Structure 1
């Protein structure tokens, strides 16, 4: 189906087991991946099979990976030693792990070890202060090698015992002082005096390590110093900004996950909520912790009961107190008479409770449901009104519907009423006030989906265009708001275009639908109070009524753009195959992003091939179409029905427009207003060619009747004929 989204974590789940086996047993989970296209940008890995067993490397294969910890957001690597020439008394700078860039940072938990004699190593933070380069000292240590009493050379007895660094022949220091953080480190080694010849070396060695450095005498007097030692890197899923407000992020895809700003609010990661563990970057990746099965971490010395995200610990019968503490439950001391009295009284109370339990339970459920509705209403109502522009602030009150109304309209959201689903929810058919309506309900209860629904309400409440689906109202009494909009009875453009058999939508209707979508996008980009970018234009989101008039739908991914701006940086959303490549790689959303998606739609209308189509050589539909267009051979991919029905010059002009809309560089693409004008001019040219119009209309009418009979939709006229008066009205609405 064209609604399928080729999401990275879906591909990664298929490739993960094989990648882990090939990488020597290292567990690989999203956002990391070895296979192309299945990792989050910046988290690609390379599996080098020239080693036995194969080794895993970051990026293009320069830093070896030893372990990946998703919950802690760390990667354990093999860090190469840094070699400093020890001749002379000057300081030498070395950038720490130059080959590792964003999203990776040197973890503050690492330590610096210096293997040398009579030298000092300084860890400094590179930065700027008052437009001057500054190097703040973070930590330092000195390694000395005392001489014998006669002032001679250093001997093996002077070095000291093997084991952890003692400061003699080897020193060790933490990466940074408490309370400081930085991304740019530098290492400086200062020789305090000439090293003794007996050491047989002229180099100082500096290591980045994530555990205590184990020193041996061979390291100083031999040549057995290690080439690499394990170190640890922190990583951030977004290393350029703090968490969005409120604290949620599109990368946190699992329920029971949240966004956590770290690194002085300059970056963020995702974490599972308290009481949950797992991978917050994939759907359903965070799962409940069974605290009762982890007695060493979650102590319980009584009866343990696991709850979602929590647990309770009760004292055993006959005891009371705090069961989470050892010996925290104390035996009850009561005489026989008191026990009998309590037993009789307790039995009576239990009997009364048992008889009244159904009534009490029903009342409690009703009260709980009422409180939940009020809570959700306040929460969603506030978010909704905050998104609406001030002059339309009352629209939220006029459009609000109750959950009871919508449950009645859909038979309590019965499965038989389900008519489809977009990228942001399931759609039900219902009857409300004697009017057939469509009701959208979210599939997944996560913060991002709530924001998408609120976003769609805020946008559609201000849109009034004949080619944009009309929002009738919304319900705010559920955790995720429900949307109610006009019911479009004839399915999507995808359903009508991609049918079995040689006869699909007539060419006249295809070009008319393209013009109507162009009008809608022009309206959204330039005629609304605040420009709106749709972000997900595709055949699945173009609905058709009984007369095949198009309606643009599914605004869950849409974004407002402030009037003074031409672009906005945002988390990438959309459908692979339709998505603007420049937006995908840079995250910069502009009006030209919708133009690219519209160009893909034009290609789909011309060729009757889905955007996920691939040639035998692996070329995508857009690249293959552009290649044929450059060679003047675009007719090879055009739908035979289009070639039969359409005018050759008109088809070539539409093909040229599609190729221009899908250019890689967004600046080379036209605006949607230019696209609309081009399509309008094509219609005018066809009308002026009066000697061929009658025959073409006749043929189109016959083809339309044939298509409607084949699809079982009757013989209603499909192509609306526009008058010159309507063109004049259009010019008044959209002055050029």
Structure 2
């Protein structure tokens, strides 16, 4: 099936925030503040000199008698200083049946706000898919997230978006680029007569309410000119409040008295303090709220008196405040009953408060017990008790909170679209890494305890050890051993990365391959990692590889009909066969490992968003270079020379086999590990360090010597020519 692609460049501001020129915090009275009926408050401006910096410059245009506010080339419908948010109208992707060409045709919309003050709000939007036979995705910088919408067993209902005709999923935090597209193998033209189109896009929660008319007509796309609302968060700059306050290169933006700095997903922004309202970005912009003018929000049954940032409520002379009501002050004969009643009321309130506190503690305990049972804690505890000697612990929530300083931000050592990883210290000064995920589906909750028991028994020198878990919370937390030397990704691509020898690269690759082979072949049942990438390969003090993050993996399914409806992964590493079939297998790990081999060979990132279309994917660039016999052009110059080129070609050939489009044609991880083991032995052999002339002499002395130094590595052999070139490539 062919596809028609319509690229809709929703927004691109060419701006580097760190180097932007900041304007004065008090803009000129001559600056316009309205575009039609939309207010444009500072730090935004309709002229460049009226905005705090060029990233906040908006345009007010009038065409065909209609006035619109534009950011870049996207319509802005509302700007809020109080919430640090802005509302835009953006295009959505659609897939419709074309009767003229008799097939489905795609129009893919995308947005790129990289380099702008904005970021897509993860709290106010969701990825939304509409259709009766639609598997669609949103691809951002690092993630691919989507869902399946069908009209089979369950009939679609107005207002319901749970998979029948409509499905919605959360988006990761920090998204500044995304593109919507459809799975061509799943989305067919079989139902086009009743359901002509499928849709996918990021849509604001407050603006979407599903209607069944969206399925049997084009009304959803035709409304509002095919544009749908989306909410963006914005910030002054991409640093934290602490960094902004000490930054000497750019002025601090929270200039008003009674203002506070906040950090959101876009960076740092400002807000008026409690009891104040207005604009914190201009001098004296935050003014006191007169609470006495709003008796609904700030109730007072007596005399209300406004104070800076607050208010007081008192009774007039002759009356006394009893509870929250002013009552007439009685004579002394009535004082005793009144005082007695007041004391009784206080005792009653205290008693009720204590009872509520006790009840809250009991409720909290019941909730923790519910989560513990829901995640299979009882089964896990019984199995641990019956199988003495398993080095696995069930931690309490208090233990994990104490270890991580109650999940303080300064303890964060890693994060992604599904959660964060914190460094913690248990009693006895044992350093650990605590993985705290955001969500988990119902099926995973039921299987969690059983899978933890299996994962706890994994014992391999090149796999990060799972020490335990916490089950008293809604989403279980995992506790791993702490690995101090960072990730392979940072070693290869970090800004301060030094020379990495060929021997070190081959050793890391071999150790990682052995770990994955262990998961595939020796674990019972076998485990598919599902997210093999250089960022999930940790390095200890002597750069020994430790494969991590397999706690989010899946057990190899016993039923081949199992189907994954939520597709997730990391761009550049994702198995193309998995993208088509939605079935994760051990050969998916082999493909991803092949990409890691390419990173070690080329020192290039697996996905280059800013590159030309044919150069975005490292695997595609590599396969094209192999096809055209231009491998030397992409190899890392630190390990490439004329003498070891054939050795590098052997590794490249192994990577090519791992990147086969069809999974059955890829080698197993066991075969990959054996081949890499053979290559390591070549590098470690004494004759690999001899002078080339001396080695030639040695090789020529006798046929028995020659046959003794040719090392077989499975499907290929390392010969004299390769061995002579190893010294400089080490």
Computing the radius of gyration from Cα coordinates, the structure with the larger value is: 1
Q: TM-score, normalised by structure 1?
A: 0.50
TM-score, structure 2 normalization: 0.50
